[in-house]
Amino acid sequence: MRLFSSVALAALLLAGVASAKDQDLVEPTLRIAPGGKASPRVALTFDACMGKTDRRILSTLIDNRVPATIFVTSRWLKRNKDVLAEMQAHPDLFEIEDHGATHVPAVDRPASIYGIAAAGSPDAVKAEVEGGAAAIKATGAVAPRWFRGATARYSPSAIAQIRQLGLRVAGYSVNGDGGSLLGAATAQKRIAAAHDGDVVIAHINQPTHAAGDGVAKGILDLKAKGFSFVKLSDVPAEGSHGTTAQTVAGY
């Protein structure tokens, strides 16, 4: 998530407030099939928007054998080739999915979401989605099956377009770190409170933010409670707003 100097913009992000002009935009939810009372499970998803890598989170995942789905941009891939190689060395733990080429919201008309200019047209949405996917495939990774746009907000028509491109759109049910802007204690509490079937969103590209420490501790809290962890493509998942609905192509 982009950093802002304005406290007001940060407050808007944490509150999830959109302007009246953008009330038609949607922020989809996503849940996985629950494991049941005896074996609750969650899906951890992390956005790698740009910049560096939070090794507090990465080390927690690797050291504790916790699977996760990592949404990467082309911008992040260029600066973190060593980290990608590390993730690819653990295919049982990580799946690499599409967060876009340049980290712009997948909205097919001019708009500003949390201060970030949207793609702005169907052609630009296509370029964002396909550019991110091409960057992933260029590394030798498996072609992505999921897409999550910057800010996780979409125009409904852009969702339909992304589905026609063959990608499911990844919403979430637990906002673990408030765009990486939450304090450590709050992030830990949010993640530790996840329920069976939840999909958690957090960020793995902000190593200097306090939230990362709380994210790592929240994961360990869930593990201590007996939760298991899955990648999005490991289990059935159902999203709102047609984000996982079957397309004409059958995907």
- What's the angle, vertex CA 110, arms to CA 107 and CA 112, rounded to 5? 80
Closest residue by Cα to residue 97 from 67, 118, 60, 123: 67
The DSSP code sequence of 165-190 is TT-EE---SEESSTTTTS-HHHHHHH
pLDDT digits (tens, 9 = 90+) for 145-193: 999 999 999 999 999 999 999 999 999 999 999 999 999 999 999 999 9
If 0-12 CB within 10 Å is exposed, 13-18 middle and 19+ buried, where does residue 76 land? buried
Beta-strand relationship, 237-239 and 30-32: antiparallel
Q: Check pLDDT > 90 for residue 99.
A: yes
- The answer on pLDDT for 213 being more than 60 is yes
- What pLDDT sits at residue 247? 62
DSSP helix/strand/coil, 72: strand
Q: Which fold has domain 25-237?
A: TIM Barrel (3.20.20)
pLDDT at 166: 96
pLDDT at residue 88 greater than cutoff 50: yes
What are the structure tokens assigned to 61, written together? 């995942």
Tell me the domain boundaries of the chain. Answer: 25-237
